């Protein structure tokens, strides 16, 4: 039997309490809420200032849908923001998919990310983020800016892999770095963001100002 419930705003304080779901507890709220409780296709749709919190991670969006077994999946659409003070990250985008079990984030729209832990700001047309591994993959006009003692290091490439824990950055495809005020280019560049060491391979070019 299919059941669809519309929850008015006055009752939302009940839904904002943590629920014992599949992985970490999840709490949610919104200006309006729809719940579909048909067995095997349960779903909760939040609209109007929708917010979901999983551990230290907080998602806000125009619309948020929770679905799948034990509400494993979270889909956000419209004016999406993510903050996670424990991990030191925040981002804004227009659409985001979060797998709570795998702890992975997928974004297929323009995204701007700030990593206060590593003093990094990044942007791209597509992003994959493994929260467990601390690995961020950026594609499509990928750009990463790293704050250093010698000024901002600006990295660009078609494809970037950023390891937050090891502070390593791999750039592939039309990779370039502008830094103090030198410029470097290659098909592949690896940057140790801890030591500011740069390694380049393939069609290397550069300009160094003495």
Predicted local confidence at residue 2, as pLDDT = 41
pLDDT above 60: residue 102: yes
Predicted local confidence at residue 14, as pLDDT = 34
Q: Has residue 29 been placed in a domain?
A: yes
> What is the mean predicted confidence (pLDDT) over 77-83?
98
Predicted local confidence at residue 62, as pLDDT = 97
CATH code: domain of residue 55: 2.60.450.10
Q: Has residue 118 been placed in a domain?
A: yes
Domain enclosing residue 44, as ranges: 4-171
Q: Has residue 210 been placed in a domain?
A: no
Number of domains in the chain: 1
Per-residue pLDDT tens digits for 158-176: 999 999 999 999 999 999 9
**Integer Cα distance of 148 and 108 in angstroms:** 30
Per-residue pLDDT tens digits for 52-70: 999 999 999 999 999 998 8
Angle at 57 between CA 115 and CA 123, to 5 degrees: 35
Q: Has residue 199 been placed in a domain?
A: no
In sequence order, which residues have a C-beta less than 8 Å from that of residue 93 and are 6 or more positions away? Answer: 80, 107, 109, 110, 111, 112, 127
SS3 string, the chain, reads CCCEEEECHHHHHHHCCCECCCCCCEEEECCEEEEECCCCCCEEEEEEEEEEEECCEEEEEEEEEEECHHHCEEEEEEEEEEEECCCCEEEEEEEEEEECCCCEEEECCCEEEEECCCCEEEEECEEEEECCCCEEEEEEEEEEEEEECCEEEEEEEEEEEEECCCCEEEEEEEEEEEECCEEEEEEEEEEECCCCEEEEECCCEEECCC
Q: Has residue 201 been placed in a domain?
A: no
Predicted local confidence at residue 6, as pLDDT = 45
Angle at 88 between CA 84 and CA 91, to 5 degrees: 60
Q: Has residue 197 been placed in a domain?
A: no
pLDDT above 90: residue 9: no
Per-residue pLDDT tens digits for 180-190: 888 999 999 99
46: Cα within 13 Å, side-chain hemisphere: 25
Q: Has residue 181 been placed in a domain?
A: no
Q: Has residue 190 been placed in a domain?
A: no
**26 and 18 Cβ atoms separated by less than 8 Å:** yes
Per-residue pLDDT tens digits for 124-144: 999 999 999 999 999 999 999
* pTM of this structure: 0.85
**Integer Cα distance of 96 and 113 in angstroms:** 13
And the tokens for 134? 């601390």
């Amino acid at each position: 039997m299919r059941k669809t419930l519309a929850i008015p705003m006055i009752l939302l304080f009940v839904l904002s309490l943590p629920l014992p779901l599949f992985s970490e507890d999840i709490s949610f709220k919104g200006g309006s809420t729809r719940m579909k409780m048909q067995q095997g296709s349960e779903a909760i749709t939040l609209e109007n200032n929708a917010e979901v919190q999983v551990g230290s991670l907080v998602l806000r969006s125009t619309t948020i849908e929770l679905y799948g077994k034990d509400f494993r999946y979270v889909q956000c659409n419209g004016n999406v923001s993510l903050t996670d003070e424990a991990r030191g990250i925040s981002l804004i985008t227009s659409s985001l998919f979060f797998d709570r079990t795998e702890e992975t984030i997928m974004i297929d729209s323009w995204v701007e990310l700030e990593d206060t832990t590593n003093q990094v700001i990044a942007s791209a047309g597509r992003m994959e983020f493994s929260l467990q591994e601390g690995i961020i993959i950026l594609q499509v006009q990928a750009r990463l800016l790293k704050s250093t003692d010698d000024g901002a290091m600006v990295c660009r490439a078609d494809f970037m892999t950023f390891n937050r824990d090891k502070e390593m950055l791999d750039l592939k495809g039309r990779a370039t770095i502008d830094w103090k005020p030198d410029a470097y280019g290659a098909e592949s560049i690896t940057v140790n963001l801890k030591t500011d060491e740069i390694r380049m391979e393939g069609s290397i070019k550069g300009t160094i100002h003495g």
